[in-house]
């Protein structure tokens, strides 16, 4: 009888995580870099990296641009590699394409793409994506988490979609690849909205830092 855990581990061995952490946080104000702001004692950008590593993703790349030194310092001690993208100001699509090209050189079976400003993301949000399809089908699938009918992060792109990701430009991101390949999409329902709660504004940062209440 086959061991499902062994299958899952083998699948994860070929996955590369890609965290997009290059933007200038313009909606946070002129002096704030949201990625290095702390929530619960950790820089926000550490959360998606930690989630991927704890879920068993063996290689995690982080694309940095704006204040790359601060982002890299915030990730100190984590087993990830920071890639500095000189063209980060061109937009998220440019940063994703840059990261996809770097990942493609390593011959991954899939690319797990996440924005860097999800302080609530944990390994339990990542594992269901890695387990969603058989290894033999992974290259041809795009696995998308959903919550309450909304698509969230991170997204797992099978290797056959790497050329499309590498061709992205400007602000056109991974959503364009998802929308262009509806038959390839596998949706996975996630129990909470952590993959939707990005931090773009001071109000969102305050909400992320607010004490969590337990329902009675």
Domain 4-140+154-209: which topology? Answer: Spore Coat Polysaccharide Biosynthesis Protein SpsA; Chain A (3.90.550)
Matching residue, tokens 């690849």 = 177
Name the pTM for this structure: 0.91
Q: Spell out the domain ranges in the chain.
A: 4-140+154-209
Q: Report pLDDT for 16.
A: 98
The answer to whether residues 142 and 184 touch, using CB atoms and an 8 Å cutoff, is: yes
CA 127, 176, 67 angle in degrees (round to 5)?
75
3-state secondary structure of 6: helix
Q: Report pLDDT for 187.
A: 98
Matching residue, tokens 């704890």 = 54
Instruction: Tell me the average confidence (pLDDT) per consecutive run of 10 residues in the chain, 216 residues long.
Output: 50 90 73 86 96 97 96 97 96 97 96 96 96 94 97 98 97 96 98 90 80 57
Please return the burial class of 119, using the count of CB atoms within 10 Å of its CB with bins 0-12, 13-18 and 19+: buried
Q: Report pLDDT for 198.
A: 87
């Amino acid at each position: 009888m086959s061991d499902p855990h062994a299958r899952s581990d083998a699948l994860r061995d070929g996955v590369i995580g890609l965290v997009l952490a290059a933007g200038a946080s313009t909606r946070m104000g002129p002096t704030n870099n949201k990625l290095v702001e702390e929530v619960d004692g950790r820089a926000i950008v550490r959360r998606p990296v930690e989630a991927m590593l704890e879920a068993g993703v063996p290689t995690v790349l982080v694309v940095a641009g704006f204040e790359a030194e601060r982002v890299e310092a915030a990730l100190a001690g984590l087993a990830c590699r920071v890639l500095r993208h000189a063209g980060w100001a061109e937009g998220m699509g440019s940063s994703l394409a840059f990261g996809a090209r770097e990942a493609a050189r390593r011959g991954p079976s899939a690319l797990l793409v996440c924005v860097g400003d999800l302080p609530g993301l944990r390994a339990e949000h990542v594992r269901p994506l890695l387990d969603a399809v058989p290894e033999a089908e992974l290259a041809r699938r795009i696995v998308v988490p959903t919550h309450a009918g909304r698509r969230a992060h991170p997204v797992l792109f099978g290797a056959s979609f790497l050329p499309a990701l590498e061709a992205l430009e400007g602000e056109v991101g991974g959503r364009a690849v998802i929308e262009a390949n509806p038959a390839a999409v596998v949706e996975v329902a996630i129990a909470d909205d952590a993959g939707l709660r990005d931090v773009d504004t001071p109000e969102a940062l305050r909400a992320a830092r607010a004490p969590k209440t337990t329902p009675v």
